[in-house]
Amino acid sequence: MDKSKRLFLKSKRSFRRRLPPIQSGDRIDYRNMSLISRFISEQGKILSRRVNRLTLKQQRLITIAIKQARILSSLPFLNNEK
């Protein structure tokens, strides 16, 4: 097989589809701290949608829940622990 034909061959590797980070039964709520804490970095920042692998609607709901938890003081605004 010559070099020009080899460029167009697809790889035979199969990939495993990743499980969504939020299951259908999970309720996105400011009181669900175990769920919310998965989407916050170590510094206390909200992780991006690309990193979280969430849909746009889910990311909006997570962001609102995190902000509500911060305002109600159940979640810190910053995490400056070293």
Specify the pLDDT at position 1: 56
- The domain tally of the chain equals 1
HSE, CB side, 13 Å, CA atoms: give it for residue 43: 3
For residues 76 and 41, the answer to whether their CB atoms sit within 8 Å is no
| CATH, residue 60 | 4.10.640.10
**Looking at the domain assignment, is residue 65 inside a domain?**
yes
**Structural domain boundaries, residue 37:** 33-72
For residues 39 and 5, the answer to whether their CB atoms sit within 8 Å is no
**Looking at the domain assignment, is residue 28 inside a domain?**
no
**Looking at the domain assignment, is residue 59 inside a domain?**
yes
Residues 8-26 pLDDT 10s: 666 667 777 777 788 777 8
| Mean per-residue pLDDT, 51-70 | 93
Cα separation of 37 and 59, whole Å?
Answer: 13
CB atoms within 10 A of CB 34: 7
The overall pTM is greater than 0.85: no
Model confidence band, residue 47 (pLDDT cutoffs 50, 70, 90)? very high
